[in-house]
Amino acid sequence: MGGEGTVVSLHAAPQGGVPKPSVPWLDVTSLGCAGDLQRNKRHHGGPQRAVCVYGLERLEALRDEGHPIDPGSTGENVLIHGLAWSDLAAGDVLHLGQVTLRLTTEAPPCSTIAGSFAEGAFQRISAAQHPGWSRWYAEVLTEGRIEVGDVVRLNSSA
């Protein structure tokens, strides 16, 4: 089982934190995205959490609920359009431009992204409370460059 989507925006924060500003491309290594600093290495970054991905459809649905969320405001590096977000699972492989990622774990939300949610309700994207709405962390299988407009191909682990 697979699927196809498109990279609609890319984000990196040289000083760390959120929101992550938009960038035209990301150079991705096994340790993360060049030019993207994580302030809290205990919870962010490293080989198993090298890249954070999210779905545009989820972001737009959250806006429709009244949340002031914007691309990059929840710390995602890659925003993707066209994948069935609720069907993603750990072990799924994404091919984006030159880069291959494997989803490792749903990214737990923290209070630093509260400004992206009405009344600070950042748990709205908690996998435990709202399955299928979280961002995903991924490990890098093939290093390289991702650019806005790149096709995303999904190879499901199921």
> Which structural domains are found in the chain, ordered by start?
2-155 (2.40.33.20)
User: What is the model's pTM?
Assistant: 0.94
Provide the pLDDT for residue 106: 97
Cβ atoms of residues 106 and 138 within 8 Å: no
pLDDT tens, residue by residue, 87-105 = 999 999 999 999 999 999 9
pLDDT, residue 1, reads 47
Low-confidence ranges of the chain (pLDDT < 50): 1
For 128, the 3-state DSSP assignment is: coil
The reported pLDDT for the residue numbered 46 is 72
User: What integer pLDDT is reported at residue 42 of this predicted model?
Assistant: 56
Residues belonging to the chain: 158
